[in-house]
Structure 1
């Protein structure tokens, strides 16, 4: 494997992470087609998304517990997981009669994503000892764009069978995995980390600064993935109420979610001048306000008001993602930083499952006009937690 100059490493990691994380919402992008194969399956949107999240949580814990990226080359771990995730993603194209098998394939895809997203960050930290905050902004931005990309792929392949979206995202993951393997050797700052110790890393919550940053992140996660998961449903509902609008749902789903990738990068840059906490609080407050104002704009007569509102929500909802990672890392116990970050990450993604299922359940019980106001609970509690401790 040829060594690559450090200056060219970050773009390769960012592009590879984008390519591989395109698998995350691949099932969501073709949900309307998958539903036709399982007409009796209920809650498929919520369950498909939740299984990917559950797989990611399980994978993150397993990878951390066995210190996989410490025992083995992180680049090789990324490569193997990128290949495996592509194959499990491809498996949903098989003619399966049982929806549980479909959910299993999404779970396994999420499991392997645990060897892509966190490991990609570790690879970056092995190369960039200084300026990691800015690097995290680009890496999280790549995750957001990757999450959005299947919706764009669906737009371009609208006249083809839905399986082309799955073929495309699997091919992208294979490409990203090979790029890391071929062009990104282990970094010069690579060090062996500690094995996962649940009881020990729980001690981080005794620190007020760590606790407030972690709870801010939890509030952010309550909102973010549920907004992403239900965004196509929001647009579909608008089209049904305003037949003359006929918005291109896959295209605008991509644009709204993908805009968050730009705000991640911008948020990372702004935090260097104004501080991570300040920018994170502004973003969290803005997205929380969007939740509260959703009855006014999601059902507005003006399609322009709707789209401007959704873009503001998409931009603000993700701008704080890398900032919370930075705040949590900064306040984590030095000797337990890796395990503490793993625990916070896992709790955050577990919260997304609860949020998605709660919104799915409430959608059958309450007026849809006020449904997404429930997401404001996360940002409000997150802001209250952040106000307890001043971070730099």
Structure 2
């Protein structure tokens, strides 16, 4: 039992270290743009390529049931090393933007062996209290996603490549920690060989469908909010020159605040039920989308920042709860594959959302741009209402 208690911190730290690669490109975007000044859609495309790589990776992992058939710790280790190497690729003297996008794609592809596989490892160790465990695990993902913005702020006086060197080094450390200190969990069930229909068998279960579609609604909003958050801060700076906000620092703080809400949400789910807490969080984040025309353009910097922090907290609090509900209602022998396929679809939705907002940004008044994100929470709440008893504690 004592050994098991030590496992969760190792998984959490390793997840944080490896997922710091996710938004590394976004954190140094102003520097990258200098090399590709004619690429007007670089923010959307750079983010989308990581997401597309992740989707492609999760699809391959799901089709071949990799995290169920093979030792998940070894899969995590190999992917963590490979992701670190591909991340370093953007430090080369690139003159073709397609090569830049390719390296971000390959980094995203390897992240498919880190994020969902990390959840699979946790599910193999913590059958009871999974919501709490995944709360800490997804919190680590959120903190890892935010971390490059902090690195950019700290290394502002150094070349931008230092951010890439640092995140790749962290990924190497995280991969080694999993390999050396996390063996197969006591609840791991050997997976079956590839069966395309079996990969989607979880969707026959109404509770699985409810959790999965709730998660899809959540994903429509979350990564688009993260991707465009620096733009929101920059717009405020351009509109209100005094005070001038530190964009990298506040992007980190707002995104990172979601790591706390993930952990708190996981703990609250133990008492009040995962569905109830997820419903509350999704309702608040959906309300933030609807109210964004009022608060994103407030003349008060305090109201503006408080609103963004509330949005950042609510937008992530439900993420581990959806994952735990998916894991709980997935077929035992395909738990890892089910988590992977749901992640695959969820991240495909983020690409659509990011590109939709990018296109609409040129067509409609910026005041109303982010109200489009409310579509996800509304549909997610509808899906949640169709299944899963609210008393289900995880």
The TM-score, its normalising length taken from structure 1, stands at 0.95
Is 1:361 equivalent to 2:349 in the alignment? no
Identify which of 289, 293, 296 aligns with 1:295: 293
Identify which of 76, 79, 82 aligns with 1:78: 76
Is 1:166 equivalent to 2:161 in the alignment? no
Structure 1 segment 245-260 matched on structure 2, within 5 A: 245-260=243-258
Alpha-carbon distance change, 204 to 64 in structure 1, aligned in 2, over 3 angstroms: closer
Identify which of 183, 186, 210 aligns with 2:184: 186
Q: Residue 218 of structure 2 corresponds to which residue in structure 1?
A: 220
Q: Deviations over 1:255-277 (max 9, x none)?
A: 00000011001001101111111
Report the more deviating stretch, 306-315 or 339-348. Answer: 339-348
Q: Residue 378 of structure 2 corresponds to which residue in structure 1?
A: 380
Per the TM alignment, residue 245 of structure 1 is displaced from its structure 2 partner at its CA by 1.9
Aligned-residue Cα RMSD (Å) equals 1.6
Identify which of 126, 129, 133 aligns with 2:127: 129
Q: Is the 8 A contact 2:234 2:247 kept in 1?
A: yes
Q: Residue 136 of structure 2 corresponds to which residue in structure 1?
A: 138
Report the more deviating stretch, 254-263 or 68-77. Answer: 68-77
Distance in 2 (alpha carbons) for counterparts of 1:122 and 1:136 = 10
Structure 1 segment 201-350 matched on structure 2, within 5 A: 201-334=199-332, 336-350=334-348
Q: Is the 8 A contact 2:79 2:113 kept in 1?
A: yes
Runs of at least 5 residues in structure 1 that lack an aligned partner in the other structure: none
Report the more deviating stretch, 21-30 or 166-175. Answer: 166-175
SS at match of 1:39: coil
Alpha-carbon distance change, 351 to 309 in structure 1, aligned in 2, over 3 angstroms: same
Identify which of 15, 20, 23 aligns with 1:22: 20
Alpha-carbon distance change, 181 to 206 in structure 1, aligned in 2, over 3 angstroms: closer
Per the TM alignment, residue 113 of structure 1 is displaced from its structure 2 partner at its CA by 0.6
SS at match of 2:34: helix
Report the more deviating stretch, 332-341 or 166-175. Answer: 332-341
Q: Is the 8 A contact 2:84 2:171 kept in 1?
A: yes
Q: Is the 8 A contact 2:120 2:339 kept in 1?
A: no
Identify which of 13, 38, 41 aligns with 2:39: 41
Report the more deviating stretch, 114-123 or 294-303. Answer: 114-123
Distance in 1 (alpha carbons) for counterparts of 2:162 and 2:82 = 19
Distance in 2 (alpha carbons) for counterparts of 1:194 and 1:220 = 30
Distance in 2 (alpha carbons) for counterparts of 1:247 and 1:39 = 24
Per the TM alignment, residue 40 of structure 1 is displaced from its structure 2 partner at its CA by 1.3
Distance in 2 (alpha carbons) for counterparts of 1:201 and 1:76 = 22
The TM-score, its normalising length taken from structure 2, stands at 0.95
SS at match of 2:6: helix
Q: Is the 8 A contact 1:276 1:323 kept in 2?
A: yes
Equivalenced residues, count:
389
Report the more deviating stretch, 349-358 or 189-198. Answer: 189-198
Distance in 2 (alpha carbons) for counterparts of 1:149 and 1:321 = 18
Per the TM alignment, residue 181 of structure 1 is displaced from its structure 2 partner at its CA by 1.9
SS at match of 1:191: coil
Alpha-carbon distance change, 40 to 78 in structure 1, aligned in 2, over 3 angstroms: same
Distance in 2 (alpha carbons) for counterparts of 1:96 and 1:201 = 39
Per the TM alignment, residue 77 of structure 1 is displaced from its structure 2 partner at its CA by 1.7
Alpha-carbon distance change, 126 to 341 in structure 1, aligned in 2, over 3 angstroms: closer
Distance in 1 (alpha carbons) for counterparts of 2:331 and 2:183 = 29
Per the TM alignment, residue 126 of structure 1 is displaced from its structure 2 partner at its CA by 2.6
